[in-house]
Structure 1
Amino acid sequence: MKIREVIVVEGRDDTAKLKQAVDADTIETNGSAVNDAVIKQIRHAQAKRGVIIFTDPDHPGSRIRHIIDHAVPGCKHAFLQRDDARAKNDHDNSLGIEHASPEALRQALRNVYTLAGDEPAQINREDLIAAGLIGSAEAGARRERLGELLQIGHTNGKQLLKRLSMFRISKGQFNQAMNQVLQEEDDERKTNSNT
């Protein structure tokens, strides 16, 4: 699988792992202190070939993504699911692209999103509360599964509404994914009650 855009990753290990999965060029941020030289390089890549931001599904990765997205508008975004990014046999439970399988990396790159502009949101906070995505005991697990289904990454309650809007998730897409989340919960409850 050849990728036309330049992929922005956090470090050398991410580049090495990506090269096992796809044919692509990368720019490495070398951590969360993204400097002006790296931003300049990313701007140049965006102008020439386009950019895909592909950072780890953790807080530092989200911070890097935000910094780059703010400094270089129009970048595309790839998200790796947290379960796919977990280190195998790792005692500190670190998350990172370098731990993912080549197939998980290819799948994340197949589901690349371009962020939306300032369009009005179709989904509001009340929808999130009604769906139990904010303020319920199941909220965290539901947000994680919803993020997997919609390929928008893992979010907290505050980030979810913004992410849904940024990725132009329609009310129909949201409702379909939430129906699947609720059906899976119901199926799990039935399975657990039968055992």
Structure 2
Amino acid sequence: MKIKEIIVVEGKDDTVAIKRAVDADTIETNGSAVSESVLQQIALAAERRGVIVLTDPDYPGERIRRIISERVPQCIHAFISKKEAISKKKDDLGVENATPEAIREALCHAKQEEHEQVEIIDWQDLHAAGLIAGAKSKQRRERLGDILHIGYSNGKQLHKRLQKFRISADEFKEAIERVYEEEQNL
């Protein structure tokens, strides 16, 4: 599978994992202190070929994603779930631990943020769906993020992501039904 866009990852091990999964070029941020020169490379890559951001599903990965998005808003975002990114041996979380299939799946579902946000799913919808301030709300948000391919986030960030990625009311409804169905089957 050949990827036209350049994939932005955190480090060398992530690049190795990407190359195992797809034929693609990468830019490494070398950690969460994204330098000015790396941001310039990403901006140039976005202009010429397009960019897909694929960072670890943790706080530093989200911080890197946010820094890049603010500077290069036309980026496409791919997400790997925590479950797919956890190392069996080291209890380490990262893209480098994901299987080639999980990486390909994340890239196939990559989405572009919309910067003109239109509220489709409101805060009340999140409360009604049991995604905010409930016993299982965190697990439900995590599973919803996996189903919609928008990654895990807290309630406030989930609301923002649903708007940014223009998740429709129907997509949201189908995904939340699936979350509850899976919950009942446990």
Superposition TM-score tier, normalisation by shorter sequence: over 0.9
Q: Is it true that 1:34 corresponds to 2:42 in the alignment?
A: no
**Structure 2: 5+ residue runs without aligned partners?**
none
TM-score (norm 1): 0.93
Q: What secondary structure is seen at the aligned counterpart in 2 of 1:27?
A: strand
* 1:96-150 residue CA offsets vs partner (Å, 9 max, x unmatched): 0111111111111111101112131110111101111001001001001101111
- Give 1:42 deviation, angstroms: 0.5
Give % identity: 53
CA distance in 2, matches of 1:182, 1:52: 31
CA distance in 2, matches of 1:119, 1:66: 16
Q: Which residue of 2 aligns with 1:12?
A: 12
Larger radius of gyration: 1
The alignment's C-alpha RMSD in Å is: 0.8
Q: Which residue of 1 aligns with 2:70?
A: 70
Equivalent AA in structure 2 for residue 85 of structure 1: A
Q: Which residue of 2 aligns with 1:137?
A: 135
4+ residue runs over 3 A deviation: none
Q: Which residue of 2 aligns with 1:183?
A: 181
**Structure 1: 5+ residue runs without aligned partners?**
189-195
Moved more, 109-118 or 4-13: 109-118
- Give 1:184 deviation, angstroms: 1.5
Q: Which residue of 2 aligns with 1:46?
A: 46
CA distance in 2, matches of 1:114, 1:72: 12
* 1:33-63 residue CA offsets vs partner (Å, 9 max, x unmatched): 0011000010100010000001000000000
Alignment counterpart, residue 164 of structure 1, candidates 154, 162, 165: 162
Q: Which residue of 2 aligns with 1:102?
A: 100
Q: What secondary structure is seen at the aligned counterpart in 2 of 1:133?
A: coil
- Give 1:20 deviation, angstroms: 0.7
CA distance in 2, matches of 1:11, 1:63: 15
Q: Which residue of 1 aligns with 2:126?
A: 128
